[in-house]
Amino acid sequence: MSKKGSNEERAVVKLFEERGFGAIRVPASGARTKSDKPDVLAGNGRFYFAVEVKSSKNDYIYIRSEQVEELLNFASAFGAVPLVVAKFTYVPYKVFSPSELNVTKSGKYTIHRDFAKDGIDLVDFIDEKR
Please report the pLDDT score of residue 28 as a whole number: 66
SS3 13: helix
Strand partners, 82: 50
Sequence letter at residue 115: F
100, 122, 118: which is closest to 109 by C-alpha?
100
Mention every residue, 6+ apart, whose C-beta is less than 8 A from residue 43. 21, 22, 23, 49, 80
113, 67, 65, 49: which is closest to 87 by C-alpha?
113
Question: In tens digits, what is the pLDDT along the chain, a chain of 130 residues?
Answer: 456 679 999 999 999 999 999 999 997 655 555 678 999 999 999 999 999 999 999 999 999 999 999 999 999 999 999 999 999 999 999 999 999 999 999 999 999 999 998 899 999 999 999 8
Please state, in angstroms and rounded to a whole number, the distance separating the CA atoms of residues 93 and 98. 15
88, 95, 89: which is closest to 128 by C-alpha?
95
Q: Which residues are catalytic?
A: 29
Contact call for residues 114 and 103 (beta carbons, < 8 A):
no
